[in-house]
């Protein structure tokens, strides 16, 4: 990220006064004027320069001539089949689908064809301090809330103060925890000061959602933020709530006065006149509704449905289309995680033994139609993923910690246990038994027992929908003498148990991130391991991991970031904290033929955000002509 230098703010006081007097008289000459305009940052990249120059017209992956109009009918993408609030930031309750994406905007937005670059949205100018200690945003003069009020610095501060208070979900305070303070410079300028100097932090600050302090005060009686439920949010986004049906369905209508329609980062986007969410109580009902044409688009992550359920007349006649769309999204680490707070999981040999009982290849072939690829790294698909032997730079970084690390960290990158020939499940289970024996668990009368005769028992937590692909793993564990107890829960109960660390062994999904940032610290830092509700779900307590993450966040170049990332990856992988699972290299779309997307495919994108944001209704232009 190239720091932006402001000559007015950095000049000595006498010079600043003189420059302001000259400016007031209209006498700023080209000598000063040129640097000021050249250094105004419309966007910033983590490393290098943004792809799109100042004054660009639109992103390459949109169609600026896309017709406006028509309706996009969607379904719920989570297990939530109802909602009870329009406030996506409070802790309690279930937020309406789409409310965050369609109504709320941030200071900056990512482009979908660059890995780590943000451009101003509500902010027209971004200035990063040369030492990375702060970022300053100048608000767009045309930015308006849905009630017509201009967006001011006070609104930004109100949003920040609210989201980092006890009135919002604790995850927002955690996410913005490295912002030391927000200072109002003038009515359109704010500065975020950081607790550390990191290239990721301007991106964190830029992702702050902005909303009006008048939200919930329309009747003159202010409502506490955590009590806001179905009060209509006052926001800057392209859509308004048109109709809500008792928590079962929701219609958004395009705001005819949306301020950002011609903004370069919004041109050619949000083309549907209406976006309608229809909520279904279970997966089978949802699939049947899609096959019947009740809604228009779905990205199917479950391969057993993709391969066999989307058939029938509408598919045969071309009304409904099945199509793969490739992407370059770095897959987030996901898989089965142990609770390190349990004594029986303290030995890394036990954790590795469990991994040898997981037959990913069989499950992928028999249940997922071989559509998945296994996650092999905490940075899969990026240059930070460990590979081969450590480089000289990696060894130099790791050497001071040699006494605290497994010797294998200094050897070839870890290859996950697998059943690709010549490996077999039988051989892997034998290896698992050997590792258990080394850790003090011996196979007696069909059960693994320690020296006290206590059986090795695991309670595995999951949802009913996970049973088909988890059951083969359970069976393999029982073959080697593990006593397995399944605990099936709904999403709310499961989330509550995770917050209290009340589990033995469960599935885990880290958040997808384009660049390594503070989420690594939240996931692994030792100080949070025993803090209820923290994101260190696994309970990792490793001074080496702590120090490497700090070094990674402070990296001054992409080369340094890659070296530290590879070293950290080796340490985490050899900790055997997670049994890595799977990812998809494509999005699996089912959509109505009247929908059309741009000719240019982005690289880093979510399925729903791309369709809602850049597609359009083919019939809209014909309707407009009529």
Q: Is residue 469 part of a domain?
A: yes
Boundary-marking domain end, from 227, 252, 284: 227
pLDDT at position 623: 61
Range from 38-42, 85-89, 617-621 carrying the lowest mean pLDDT: 38-42
Q: Give, as one character, the DSSP assignment of residue 185.
A: E
Mean pLDDT of all residues in 123-148: 97
The three-state DSSP-derived secondary structure of 368-435 is CCCCCEECCCCCCCCCCCCCCCCCHHHHHHHHHHHHHCCHHHHCCCCCCCCCCCCCCHHHHHHHHHHH
- CA angle in degrees (0–180, nearest 5) for 533-535-540: 110
In a domain, 175, yes or no: yes
Question: CA 60 to CA 117: how far, in whole Å?
Answer: 14
User: Residue 624: pLDDT band by 50, 70, 90 thresholds?
Assistant: low
61 band by pLDDT with thresholds 50, 70 and 90: very high
Domain count for the chain? 2
Answer whether residue 219 shows pLDDT above 60: yes
User: Do 221 and 361 fall within a single domain?
Assistant: no
pLDDT at 407 over 60: yes
Give the domain extent around 553: 334-583
Residue 240's pLDDT is 98
Structure tokens at 155: 């609104």
Per-residue pLDDT at 536 exceeds 60: yes
Q: Mark whether 211 and 355 lie in a shared domain.
A: no
Gap between the terminal Cα atoms of the chain: 49
The mean pLDDT of 265-276, rounded to a whole number, is 98
Is residue 253 one of the residues assigned to a domain? no
- Note the pLDDT of residue 272: 98
Which CATH number do you get for residue 355? 3.10.105.10
Instruction: Tell whether 597 is covered by a domain.
Output: no
Q: Which long-range contacts (CB under 8 A, 24 or more apart) does 178-185 make?
A: 178/204, 178/518, 179/204, 179/205, 182/156, 182/157, 184/153, 184/154, 184/157, 185/136, 185/153
What global pTM score does this model have? 0.84
Count of all residues that appear for the chain in the document: 626
pLDDT at position 228 over 50 = yes
pLDDT in tens, 176-204: 999 999 999 999 999 999 999 989 999 99
In a domain, 535, yes or no: yes
**396 and 535 fall within a common domain:** yes
pLDDT per residue as tens digits for the range 291-326:
999 999 999 988 889 988 999 999 999 999 999 999
Contact 256, 34 (CB under 8 A): no
The residue among 129, 186, 190, 126 whose CA lies nearest residue 156 is 190
In this structure, the answer to whether residues 390 and 512 fall within a common structural domain is: yes
Tell whether 210 and 347 lie within a shared domain: no
4 CB-side CA count, 13 A: 25
- Among 176, 195, 227, where does a domain finish? 227
Q: pLDDT, tens digit, for every residue of 421-453?
A: 999 999 999 999 999 999 999 999 999 999 999
**Residue 299, domain member (yes or no):** no
Residue position matching structure tokens 């490996």:
423
* Mean pLDDT, all residues of the chain: 90
556 within some domain: yes
Q: What's the CATH number where 129 sits? A: 3.40.190.10
Q: Would strands 457-462 and 117-120 be described as parallel, antiparallel, or unpaired?
A: unpaired
Per the structure block, which two tokens stand in for 37?
């305009």
Q: Last residue of a domain, which of 227, 248, 264?
A: 227
Question: What are phi and psi for residue 94, nearest 5 degrees?
Answer: -120, 120
Assess if residue 361 is contained within a domain.
Answer: yes
Tokens of 512: 């997808």
Pairing mode of beta strands 505-509, 457-462: parallel
One domain, residues 214 and 344: no
């Amino acid at each position: 990220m190239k720091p932006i230098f402001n000559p007015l703010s950095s000049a000595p006081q006498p010079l600043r006064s003189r420059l302001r007097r000259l400016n007031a008289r209209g006498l700023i000459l080209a000598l000063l004027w040129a640097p000021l305009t050249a250094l105004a940052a419309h966007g910033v990249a983590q490393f290098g320069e943004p792809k799109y120059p100042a004054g660009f017209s639109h992103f390459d992956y949109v169609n600026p001539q896309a017709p406006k109009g028509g309706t996009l009918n969607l379904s719920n993408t989570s297990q939530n089949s109802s909602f009870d609030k329009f406030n996506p930031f409070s802790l309690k309750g279930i937020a309406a689908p789409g409310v965050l994406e369609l109504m709320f905007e941030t200071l900056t937005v990512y482009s979908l064809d660059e890995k780590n670059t943000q451009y101003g949205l509500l902010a027209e100018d971004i200035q990063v301090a040369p030492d990375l200690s702060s970022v300053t945003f100048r608000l767009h003069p045309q930015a308006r809330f849905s009630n017509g009020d201009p967006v001011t610095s006070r609104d930004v501060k109100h949003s920040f103060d609210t989201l980092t208070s006890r009135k919002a979900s604790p995850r927002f305070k955690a996410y913005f925890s490295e912002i030391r303070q927000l200072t109002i410079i003038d009515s359109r300028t704010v500065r975020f000061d950081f607790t550390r100097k990191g290239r990721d932090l301007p991106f964190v600050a830029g992702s702050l959602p902005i909303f009006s302090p008048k939200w919930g005060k329309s009747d003159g009686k202010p409502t506490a933020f955590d009590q806001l439920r179905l009060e209509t949010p006052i926001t800057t986004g392209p859509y308004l709530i048109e109709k809500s049906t008792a928590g079962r369905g929701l219609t958004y209508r395009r705001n005819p006065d949306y301020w950002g329609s011609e903004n370069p980062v919004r041109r050619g986007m949000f083309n549907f006149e209406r976006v309608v969410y229809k909520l279904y109580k279970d997966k089978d009902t949802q699939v049947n509704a899609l096959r019947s044409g009740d809604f228009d688009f779905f990205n199917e992550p479950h391969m057993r449905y993709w391969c066999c359920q989307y058939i029938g007349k509408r598919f045969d006649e071309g009304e409904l289309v099945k199509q793969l769309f490739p992407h370059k999204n770095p897959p987030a680490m996901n898989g089965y995680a142990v609770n390190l707070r349990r004594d029986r999981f303290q030995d890394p040999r036990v954790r590795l033994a469990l991994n040898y009982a997981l037959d990913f290849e069989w499950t992928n072939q028999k249940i997922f139609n071989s559509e998945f690829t296994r996650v092999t790294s905490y940075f899969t698909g990026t240059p930070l993923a460990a590979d081969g032997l450590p480089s000289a730079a990696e060894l130099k970084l790791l050497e001071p910690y040699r006494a605290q690390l497994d010797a294998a960290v200094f050897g070839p990158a870890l290859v996950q246990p697998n059943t690709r020939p010549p490996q077999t499940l039988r051989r892997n289970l034998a290896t698992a038994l050997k590792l258990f024996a080394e850790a003090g668990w011996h196979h007696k009368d069909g059960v693994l027992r320690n020296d006290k005769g206590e059986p090795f028992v695991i309670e595995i937590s999951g949802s009913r929908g996970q049973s088909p692909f988890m059951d083969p793993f359970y069976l393999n564990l029982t073959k080697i003498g593990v006593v397995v107890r399944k605990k099936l829960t709904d999403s709310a109960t499961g989330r509550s148990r995770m917050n209290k660390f009340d589990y033995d062994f469960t599935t885990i999904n880290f958040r997808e991130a384009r660049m390594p940032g503070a989420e690594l610290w939240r996931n692994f830092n030792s100080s949070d391991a025993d803090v209820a509700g923290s994101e260190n779900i696994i309970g990792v307590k490793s001074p080496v991991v702590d120090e490497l993450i700090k070094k990674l966040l402070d990296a001054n170049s992409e080369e340094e970031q890659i070296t530290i990332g590879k070293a950290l990856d080796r340490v985490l992988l050899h900790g055997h904290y997670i049994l890595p699972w799977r990812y998809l290299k494509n999005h699996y779309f089912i959509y109505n033929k009247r929908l059309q997307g741009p000719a240019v495919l982005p690289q880093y994108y979510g399925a729903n955000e791309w369709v809602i944001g850049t597609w359009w209704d083919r019939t809209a232009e014909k309707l407009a002509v009529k």
